[in-house]
Structure 1
Amino acid sequence: MKQNILFTCAGRRNYLINYFKEALNGNGNVIAVDQDLLAPALVDADIAVQVPDIYDASYISKLLEITKTYSVTAIISLNDLELPLLSKNKSIFEKEGVKVIISDENAIDIGFDKLKTFNFIKKLGLNTPKTFTSLDSALKAIRDGELEFPLVLKPRWGSASIGIEFPESFEELELSYKLQKMKIEKTILGEVSKHDIEHSILIQEKLNGNEYGLDVVNDLEGNYFGTFAREKLSMRSGETDKAISVINKNIEKLGEKLARALKHIGSMDCDAFLVNGTLYLLELNPRFGGGYPFSHEAGVNLAAIYIEWLNGEENKNLLKYNNYKSGFIFSKCDRLLKIKAPKSYFDKSFEAITLQTDWLNFLKEVENYDFYHTYHYHLISKSEHETPVLITYKENDILIGIPFLIRNIPNTPYKDATCVYGYSGPISKNIPTGFDNSRFINEIFKYFKENNIISVFSRLNPYIENQHSILNDIGFLTKQGQVVNINIQLDLKKQKTNIQNRLKTYINNTRRNCSVRFAETNEDIQDFINIYYENMDRVGAKKLYYFSEHYFYKLFNTDVFKSEILLAIDNESGETIAGCQFITTNGIVQYHLSGTKNNYLHLNPTKLLIDDMRILATQRGHKYFNLGGGLGGRADDSLFHFKSLFSKDFRDFNLWKLIVNQDVYNELVAKNGITKATDYFPLYRAIDDLNVNL
């Protein structure tokens, strides 16, 4: 059976790539992925792909996309920090027929959390170094004579020997402890340690003896297969540099006891010490370790064994791949690889950004954007099968960026691009008068075609300049209606003269009956959510307007943009009766969501909340206060009429629609049985969607 093996976080593990290529012998491919396009292991792989950082929200969906594109049959991770993530998401891949050769979450947690490693080993009745989780407890143990210098100080959740120190005095211990605690927060270990940063460092006794590396191997069902040991002769950068293969019955017994208790999957890299005839177990890393090449060269071919397991072979038939012998000494050495970096690695004129940091950096460079353009808003808005992407283009000092949600078109190899709920479209900097967008058109069409994107849809932002000149001759722009802006650059007195007299009366009456305050607590947010849902029930809103509670909390609790909820309180009952959410970015205030309790509609509290924000926004020196438009962008419905009572400063609201591949577009429309032409876009998705009350 053909096996296509995907190695994630491939890094520098060229030896594994080549071992598996040799074992496959042309009957399958080795696919390697890494966030760094220049990672050495990508050079030797049959197929190399760049992926986002493992903590990026799109990481799992990107891996899933790769498995489908390259018919991947198995995934092997080579990174400690990634193991918990992939173990948690195994079912997503295995539903697609991809075997994830990673242990269950419990086994991964025991190996990753070094305190749980200590407790697990002790529970098995095996020896392990004394371990302390706080500086005070370690100092007390030293004073009581239970612990002595030198010691080992290391991260509780660690990888690649990052942050390991060997203090030899009280002063060194205290300084190292404080320094490492600060360092952890600044390294890749910060993310995994943040939930218990106060106990993120372990202090252990330092063992003096012979150090061994063990490959403890279970099959894909968690059944014990064998233990392959080597004595470490020297180390470099946390990995075994020189070693001699060893066959030792006591080590094999230890490995078997450990494997049968943990029931991990595949190879597990372990560290052990032999001190005065007693074996101590230190580390359990349930993945291929940096010492595996020593086992492979000494006679056990786990690459071939893995492939046989994937083909359904039983352990008893795999002895031909196990010819492990003792006494073989090997040493690692570096080699220089020529890397053929794609032009895009150096040519940054056109990029598709998926990483949060890169996205944020581009926004800072552009300067003029709305919250609808941020990565954070895309992340909380996207559905499970959508990927946030920021298309960026640079030409001399010209900058253009367009954010999208890229989504698969079900039961096809195609995709389309859409926008978040709200006012999106291009953002830019230094667009000249009469901008020639021909080169931009070529680049963006090239991207769409290379990524099988059939159509593109976006709602434009009436307050972001140059959107029309950027999109000129790219698809078609249609006016959907108008939105209402309150000109808060006028003084408050002048603004008030623009407000309809009857509305002023309503506001004054409401102000006598209600007070206004900001939402501050989770209870306040929950009150607003409940009021919003009640409001949606009353107006018979479509399901798509019932945003999840997660959406509200994430939208409120962020420092990416200023999100505020004003609440109206009934003076007589003290009850919260209405709420409005306003979001401010770069001088643009957006009236985002609102609701009023049914029993208090007669008090018109929403009008008061909008008016209070009008005053606040003016005092803060903002530029625009967008109230949005009517239902579906219409200017003749009651919602638009209500908003227009505040101002007659109307702005055109436009939609951008682009068909990249007309033939496929027509096929999809026909395939979905759509025969009646409508304004809905894309027509092959002619179902309820965000088309659009803004």
Structure 2
Amino acid sequence: MNVLVSSAGRRGALIRLIRETVQPRGGCVYAVDAAPWSSACRLADEWRVVPPFSDANFFDSIVSFCKQRDIRLIVPTHDCELPVYAKLRPLFHELGIHVACSGSATIQIARNKHETAKFLRQAGLPSPAEIDLDRALRGDTTLPYPLVVKPSDGSGSRGVQIVTDAEELTFYLRRTTNPIVQQCAEGREYTTNLFVNRSHRCLVAVPHWRVETRGGEVSKCMTVRHPSLIDLASRLADALPDPYGALCFQAFVSSDGQAQVIEINARFGGGYPIAHQAGANFVQMLIDDVEGREVSQPDWSDGLAMTRWDDAVFWHPQQETAAPALTAGESNLRRVA
């Protein structure tokens, strides 16, 4: 099966893992991005520059590429494009193209931190308490510091600040767009990658300890068979309105084993490669689902460690095929062979 990675950006590891999965059966991995300097695109078998997901020509551009290369599975990777793909998913499906993303309601819950906090609270899932913004802005002296201030529509830990007093709280509230304030979760930080089938059931959950992060993405981690996180993954899948495919959530686990969920991502997480290498091949699970095979529940290896390093790709832009003016599906920049 041929697979397309959308908004590939820097997701080079994901491109490689998809290729390892599809290549033995004659499949290829393709990539698209609105930016011609995407590093991950250059690791794909072929790639194209397409209009941004907000552009009226986005859908036609993606469909054109899929038809030309017999692509049957699209893997969206960027938070901002998920609502677009969820809305267009029925149109893709009519054309025989499967989009690996959750439904609009689940994506909205994951995209907005206020909605995430509300959902977790109503579902009875453990999470840090949200602090009323009016109370925070009044400088209430009884607030339970330390607190976390972050953009409600942010991602990748961008703009997250831990504040320890009223002065810091006021400072960051004034400088944060659409802020949310929560109590600070304590303990060891984990991400749990989970795969949810069409019946909205969690088939596998792989927690990993986030030993070190850089720019919001894990750089050192280790898989941990943590019962409370695996249980939380199942409860999360049951409670979300329309989850599907690869999701992940972040949580802090205290010294007494109590977990608190701080974030949900309705997509492949940046730390997915460790789950894949541990034995939970979500890509193969998606392909099995698209091709009508039973999706099995894989076992995975506990205690597998991962560390990352910087890598690079090199090319001569002047040697790439020149792209015509962007029209629906006609951008044809390709990687150098």
Aligned 1:372-387 pairs, distance under 5 A: none
Which is worse superposed, 224-233 or 214-223? 214-223
Aligned 1:417-428 pairs, distance under 5 A: none
- In the other structure, the counterpart of 1:77 is 76
1:426-466 deviations in Å (ceiling 9; x for gaps): xxxxxxxxxxxxxxxxxxxxx9xx9xxxxxxxxxxxxxxxx
Please state how far the C-alpha of 1:53 moved relative to its aligned partner: 1.8
- In the other structure, the counterpart of 1:152 is 148
- In the other structure, the counterpart of 1:92 is 91
Question: Whole-Å Cα distance in 2 between the matches of residues 28 and 118 of structure 1?
Answer: 40
TM-score (norm: length of structure 1): 0.45
Describe the shift of the 1:342–1:6 C-alpha distance in structure 2 as closer, same or farther (beyond 3 A). Answer: farther
2:251 corresponds, among 272, 276, 283, to 272
Aligned partner letter, 2:288: E
Question: Whole-Å Cα distance in 2 between the matches of residues 175 and 141 of structure 1?
Answer: 11
Aligned partner letter, 1:204: Q
Question: Whole-Å Cα distance in 2 between the matches of residues 95 and 300 of structure 1?
Answer: 29
Query: Secondary structure of the residue that 1:81 maps to in structure 2?
Result: helix
- In the other structure, the counterpart of 1:42 is 41
- In the other structure, the counterpart of 2:289 is 309
Aligned partner letter, 1:81: C
1:458-513 deviations in Å (ceiling 9; x for gaps): xxxxxxxxxxxxxxxxxxxxxxxxxxxxxxxxxxxxxxxxxxxxxxxxxxxxxxxx
Question: Whole-Å Cα distance in 1 between the matches of residues 326 and 145 of structure 2?
Answer: 49
Describe the shift of the 1:173–1:339 C-alpha distance in structure 2 as closer, same or farther (beyond 3 A). Answer: farther
Query: Is this contact kept in 2: 1:142–1:148, CA < 8 A?
Result: no
Aligned partner letter, 2:15: I
Which has the bigger relative contact order, CA under 8 A and spacing at least 6? Answer: 2
2:175 corresponds, among 157, 175, 179, to 179
- In the other structure, the counterpart of 1:189 is none
Query: Secondary structure of the residue that 2:26 maps to in structure 1?
Result: coil
Please state how far the C-alpha of 1:220 moved relative to its aligned partner: 4.0
Query: Is this contact kept in 1: 2:223–2:303, CA < 8 A?
Result: yes
1:150-194 deviations in Å (ceiling 9; x for gaps): 32111111222222222233222222222223xxxxxxxxxxxxx
Higher helix proportion, which one?
Answer: 1
- In the other structure, the counterpart of 2:310 is 334
1:234 corresponds, among 189, 203, 212, to 212
Aligned 1:216-365 pairs, distance under 5 A: 216-262=194-240, 263-275=242-254, 276-315=256-295, 318-319=296-297, 322-343=298-319, 352-353=325-326
1:512-558 deviations in Å (ceiling 9; x for gaps): xxxxxxxxxxxxxxxxxxxxxxxxxxxxxxxxxxxxxxxxxxxxxxx
- In the other structure, the counterpart of 2:157 is 161
Please give the root-mean-square deviation of Cα atoms over the aligned residues, in Å. Answer: 2.3
Query: Is this contact kept in 2: 1:38–1:339, CA < 8 A?
Result: no
Describe the shift of the 1:337–1:26 C-alpha distance in structure 2 as closer, same or farther (beyond 3 A). Answer: farther
Stretches of structure 2 lacking an aligned partner (at least 5 in a row): 333-337
Aligned partner letter, 1:285: N
Higher Rg of the two aligned structures? 1
Query: Secondary structure of the residue that 2:175 maps to in structure 1?
Result: helix
Query: Secondary structure of the residue that 1:225 maps to in structure 2?
Result: strand
Aligned partner letter, 1:231: W
Paired positions, count? 329
1:19-65 deviations in Å (ceiling 9; x for gaps): 11111124222110011122111111111111122222222221122
Query: Is this contact kept in 1: 2:131–2:183, CA < 8 A?
Result: no
Question: Whole-Å Cα distance in 2 between the matches of residues 255 and 211 of structure 1?
Answer: 15
Question: Whole-Å Cα distance in 2 between the matches of residues 150 and 339 of structure 1?
Answer: 48
Query: Is this contact kept in 2: 1:151–1:206, CA < 8 A?
Result: yes
Aligned partner letter, 1:265: Y
Query: Secondary structure of the residue that 2:114 maps to in structure 1?
Result: helix
Aligned partner letter, 2:266: P
- In the other structure, the counterpart of 1:5 is 3
1:216-275 deviations in Å (ceiling 9; x for gaps): 211244332111101111111001111111112221111111112214111111001112
- In the other structure, the counterpart of 1:170 is 166
Aligned partner letter, 1:88: K
Query: Is this contact kept in 1: 2:147–2:184, CA < 8 A?
Result: yes
Query: Secondary structure of the residue that 2:70 maps to in structure 1?
Result: coil
Question: Whole-Å Cα distance in 2 between the matches of residues 54 and 343 of structure 1?
Answer: 27
Aligned partner letter, 1:51: V
Query: Is this contact kept in 1: 2:51–2:326, CA < 8 A?
Result: no
Query: Secondary structure of the residue that 1:232 maps to in structure 2?
Result: strand
2:18 corresponds, among 6, 9, 20, to 20
Question: Whole-Å Cα distance in 1 between the matches of residues 68 and 198 of structure 2?
Answer: 24
Question: Whole-Å Cα distance in 2 between the matches of residues 69 and 225 of structure 1?
Answer: 33
Question: Whole-Å Cα distance in 2 between the matches of residues 58 and 5 of structure 1?
Answer: 21
Query: Is this contact kept in 1: 2:101–2:244, CA < 8 A?
Result: yes
Query: Is this contact kept in 2: 1:81–1:159, CA < 8 A?
Result: no
Aligned partner letter, 2:283: A
Question: Whole-Å Cα distance in 2 between the matches of residues 26 and 35 of structure 1?
Answer: 29
1:546-574 deviations in Å (ceiling 9; x for gaps): xxxxxxxxxxxxxxxxxxxxxxxxxxxxx
Aligned partner letter, 1:96: L
Aligned 1:193-212 pairs, distance under 5 A: 200-212=178-190
Question: Whole-Å Cα distance in 1 between the matches of residues 246 and 299 of structure 2?
Answer: 17
Question: Whole-Å Cα distance in 2 between the matches of residues 302 and 202 of structure 1?
Answer: 32
Query: Secondary structure of the residue that 1:118 maps to in structure 2?
Result: helix
1:408-439 deviations in Å (ceiling 9; x for gaps): xxxxxxx9xxxxxxxxxxxxxxxxxxxxxxxx
Query: Secondary structure of the residue that 1:268 maps to in structure 2?
Result: strand
Query: Is this contact kept in 2: 1:4–1:74, CA < 8 A?
Result: yes
Question: Whole-Å Cα distance in 1 between the matches of residues 211 and 154 of structure 2?
Answer: 23
